[in-house]
Structure 1
Amino acid sequence: MIEIKHHGATSGVTGSCHELSLHVGSDEKRERFSSDPDLDTTPESEGDRHGILIDCGLFQGQDEGREASAADLTIDFPIDHIRALVVTHVHIDHVGRIPYLLAAGFEGPIICSEPSAVMLPEILEDALKIGFTRDRSLIERVLGLIRERVVPVPYGQWHSVFEEGECSLSVRLQRAGHILGSAYVECEARVGDLEERIVFSGDLGAPHSPLLPEPKSPERADRLVIESTYGDRDHEDRETRRDRLRAVLENALADGGTVLVPAFSIGRTQELLYEIEGIIAEASLKVGSDGKRERFSSDPLFDWEHLEIVVDSPLAANFTQIYRDLKPFWDAEAQELVRSGRHPLSFDQLTVIDSHEDHLNAVEYLAKSHRPCVVLAGSGMCAGGRVVNYLKVMLGDDRNDVLFVGYQAAGTPGRDILTFGPRGGWVELDGERYDIRARVHQVGGYSAHAGQSDLLRFVEGIPEAPGEIRIVHGDTEAKKVLGKLLSERLSSRILIPAL
């Protein structure tokens, strides 16, 4: 029997953790389970069992009615049979519970792409400091253990996880286009004469995103587990979202306000820097009489060359440097810019704030000054981090703008600002209410997630439709809408699992 279980991301968009297990049991029980996919528990005494986990992420916001606190981080499912953890990418909602998995006794390898192998210890160091312990020696021991366990696997190459008697399992990672190092996972599973190709999408990226090649559909998937974050809607195209981003920046230049971008440290921060550098470069050029572009000084109100871009997040700054170091994994467009002498992640107007003291000084200075500025500060859903200090002093000033470029989960301050800000409402930050007079924008095209059409294209690009498609990692409506569309287009059995 080959079965799939879900230990997260079934009633929301966080806590991703899925299990693929291979079990040698009686033909009768194998037939019973294969005909009823809702039965996903197996008696532990029923033969030999081997499995892997796909991700082990943190719950955030009101996902499953849970808060991202230590009480919700326990590993509450059996792991004795788990032979390996496969990481699709290093966002915290996919890797945040790894320290707790290790504490629960997991001793297997952590399989991931080569870029993810570089970034995983970095993101977990930050997670450990915030939610686990401040004990530096303990953090170093945990990180050391993680580095020992990490197994980098090149894209497109099969990697054998185990081969035990009648059971064998190999995995192959393919580019997912979500963030640097992201992958979807192809699993080649065998139990006796039963063989299946099972694909876990992880988080898929949108086509034409800056820096990363877009994902290509797998050549085969007997069963598919697919995310549905934006299963009910599409993003703006790249040109439209770029125009909207430029318009928001022009407002900042015109009225001397700050554009505050709640930043996800990995992915969107780097994509935004890439796009902002391009906007500044284009705005600072004009076409001369000979048809060539030349540098010029624009109207002082729109002096792009003096617009300061601030990254106030040590983690985001760290990952921006890692992105620079991993240029071989960039797409062709980005690499061509580098060859032409441009530096899309390291340009003159970019300032990085590291120390907490400098952060507090920047908050105070920008709150009082009328100097236009763009600040990218963590965290992306405004549930903590340095962005909260900026929000407290800037939300009440209509010169300022708050720009959301990523998904805002239910129960987070980001969702409240997005919902109530345009109505002149308020948001609660650290137990106090703050009126929202700043303009609030959302440019969905900069989400690192695929839109509805992208998800459909990914599934329909599989040469033969999967026999079963499981829809996870989405709000209820998003999953329902995507499920309905897939059921209308394909003969696949569509399942929406629940814990």
Structure 2
Amino acid sequence: MEIKHHGAVNGVTGSCHELVLDNKTSVLIDCGMFQGAESSGSESDTLQLDFPIDTVKGLFVTHCHIDHVGCIPALIAAGFNGPIIASKATAQLLPLVLEDALKIGVTRDEELINQFLRLIESRLQPVEYKQWQAVDSIEGLTFRYQPAGHILGSAYIEFKYDNEIIVFSGDLGAPYAPLLPAPKSPWRADRLVIESTYGDKRHENRHNRRQHLEAIVRHCLQDAGTVLIPAFSIGRTQELLYELEDIIHRDKGTAWENIDVIVDSPLAAKFTEHYRDLNALWDAEAKARKSKGRHPLAFDQLITIDSHKDHVKLVNYLKHSGKPAIVIAASGMCAGGRIVNYLKALLGDKRTDVVFVGYQAQGTPGWDIQRYGPKGGYVYLDDERIDIKAGVYTLSGYSAHADQKDLVNFVKRMRHKPKEIRIVHGDKEAKQVLKTKLGEVCPTAKVIIP
């Protein structure tokens, strides 16, 4: 067997790995889109792959973030006609993600999009967690999906073939993230492909990050300004709503009860509905809150903006009114979406605060704001220079990714540790640091940075 890497090798986006079983048969694990400086920036590339797919008999999806699934249309266009295997929750969410990706990067033709989505849904094979299963078209291969705790439906995948177990981590979640249970390590992995997004960093703990979030919003209340939180529509948005509901619940009778929490993303609103419907996948804490009659993802102060007309109206209103509000909008790296209009309107206002709660890839506007904003710098948005007078904050603890300690523990807690570890999905420094740490945990393993 051979493992090939077609993405997430020189950075953190474009996840796509190929498990080659023999010279006629292989499977893909994810087929993601490159973003930021890792992308060529050409829309035409969204329907092109740079590797042959003649032997690819199946696609296994770890979760439905765009950097893991955004190139599925390209895979289909290249002639792939095998099954698309995903957890039940991911299979439910994937068509929404791909519909949005097609509208932004490929076409607005509703008929073409619906035709493609029907094709995707006919190929989707939803699977349960924790059950070994076979693939009809691939002899000798069995697999098992295990909860990864990253976003709803996320999984790491165990493959069993020729008496060997190969594990692909996908993106692993942080142990104390809101809403979802923490991932548990597999019992055995002979070979492991592991992400390293935060391989060189440690997140602040949940109590501290919640305090920091609350402090920033209190500052907003005092300054009569807006808190802008760029966040991915799935995962981060729902976690933030969960934490904000808890802060408001604990501070009943204060100004917190009057602050508007605005989700300005039709896609995020749809995902939040799915998170509510799939509450059986929540962790024990979230289930306990729900059983007490609380609504962590549907509280009174929550406002959802759907139409573009209402979005434009709200941006102008917040720009001129100075009414305190919290706005959560995509994209998480400020590379498009409705957050860009808020940033253009409000970055020049010192009453505004921008809070980053997730990874910002180099080459994205989010990375520029995060790096240059605290120095009073500027950023280009839609080819327009915007001076940054807003406060800029980063709360690393809200990342949906495991940090260095979590990644090391994922390997450390395996009963039978890998003979080979391949480190992907991280910047150069993060991978190098994690390689050293994993070498200490598995001194006999061959630790590779592809």
User: Would the TM-score normalized by the shorter structure come out above 0.5?
Assistant: yes
Question: Using the alignment, how far apart are the partners of 1:69 and 1:460 within structure 2?
Answer: 42
Residues 221-260 of structure 1: pairs in structure 2 closer than 5 A? 221-260=189-228
The answer as to whether partners of 1:61 and 1:68 remain within 8 angstroms in 2 is no
For normalisation by structure 2, the TM-score amounts to 0.98
The answer as to whether partners of 2:8 and 2:425 remain within 8 angstroms in 1 is yes
Question: Using the alignment, how far apart are the partners of 2:175 and 2:6 within structure 1?
Answer: 29
Gaps of 5+ in 1: 24-47, 285-296
Secondary structure of the residue aligned to 1:229 is coil
1:330 equivalent to 2:282? Answer yes
The answer as to whether partners of 1:162 and 1:168 remain within 8 angstroms in 2 is no
Residues 377-392 of structure 1: pairs in structure 2 closer than 5 A? 377-392=329-344
- Cα deviation for residue 72 of structure 1 reads 5.5
The answer as to whether partners of 2:18 and 2:26 remain within 8 angstroms in 1 is yes
Runs of 4+ in 1 over 4 A off after TM superposition: none
AA of the residue aligned to 1:86: F
Residues 290-309 of structure 1: pairs in structure 2 closer than 5 A? 297-298=253-254, 303-309=255-261
AA of the residue aligned to 1:51: S
The answer as to whether partners of 2:171 and 2:401 remain within 8 angstroms in 1 is yes
- Cα deviation for residue 132 of structure 1 reads 1.3
The answer as to whether partners of 2:46 and 2:74 remain within 8 angstroms in 1 is no
Question: Using the alignment, how far apart are the partners of 2:120 and 2:165 within structure 1?
Answer: 28
Residues 99-498 of structure 1: pairs in structure 2 closer than 5 A? 99-162=73-136, 168-190=140-162, 195-284=163-252, 297-298=253-254, 303-490=255-442, 491-497=444-450
Counterpart of 1:49?
Answer: 24
AA of the residue aligned to 2:6: H
Secondary structure of the residue aligned to 1:62 is helix
Question: Using the alignment, how far apart are the partners of 2:187 and 2:78 within structure 1?
Answer: 36
Kindly provide the CA deviation profile for residues 333-385 of structure 1, in whole angstroms up to 9, marking residues without a partner as x.
Answer: 11111110000000000000000000000000001112110000111100111
AA of the residue aligned to 2:25: H
Question: Using the alignment, how far apart are the partners of 2:180 and 2:44 within structure 1?
Answer: 34
Q: Quick check: which has more Rg, 1 or 2?
A: 1
- Cα deviation for residue 80 of structure 1 reads 1.8
Kindly provide the CA deviation profile for residues 452-479 of structure 1, in whole angstroms up to 9, marking residues without a partner as x.
Answer: 0000000111112200000000011000
Which residue, 69, 77, 84 being the options, matches 2:58?
84
Question: Using the alignment, how far apart are the partners of 2:44 and 2:226 within structure 1?
Answer: 35
Question: Using the alignment, how far apart are the partners of 1:331 and 1:84 within structure 2?
Answer: 31
Secondary structure of the residue aligned to 2:85 is strand
Secondary structure of the residue aligned to 1:7 is strand
Gaps of 5+ in 2: none
Question: Using the alignment, how far apart are the partners of 1:72 and 1:480 within structure 2?
Answer: 30
- Cα deviation for residue 332 of structure 1 reads 1.0
AA of the residue aligned to 1:8: G
The answer as to whether partners of 2:47 and 2:73 remain within 8 angstroms in 1 is no
Counterpart of 1:32?
Answer: none
CA change 1:10–1:68 in 2 (3 A) is: farther
Question: Using the alignment, how far apart are the partners of 1:341 and 1:154 within structure 2?
Answer: 29
Secondary structure of the residue aligned to 1:21 is strand
Residues 21-32 of structure 1: pairs in structure 2 closer than 5 A? 21-23=20-22
AA of the residue aligned to 2:345: V
- Cα deviation for residue 162 of structure 1 reads 4.7
The answer as to whether partners of 2:34 and 2:67 remain within 8 angstroms in 1 is yes
- What is the aligned residue count? 449
Question: Using the alignment, how far apart are the partners of 2:37 and 2:131 within structure 1?
Answer: 38
- Cα deviation for residue 209 of structure 1 reads 0.7
AA of the residue aligned to 1:269: T
The answer as to whether partners of 1:66 and 1:72 remain within 8 angstroms in 2 is no
Kindly provide the CA deviation profile for residues 369-418 of structure 1, in whole angstroms up to 9, marking residues without a partner as x.
Answer: 12110000111100111111100111111111000001000000000000
Q: Indicate the percent of aligned positions where both proteins have the same amino acid.
A: 60
The answer as to whether partners of 1:171 and 1:185 remain within 8 angstroms in 2 is yes
- Cα deviation for residue 485 of structure 1 reads 1.2
- Cα deviation for residue 134 of structure 1 reads 1.0
Counterpart of 2:49?
Answer: 75
For normalisation by structure 1, the TM-score amounts to 0.89
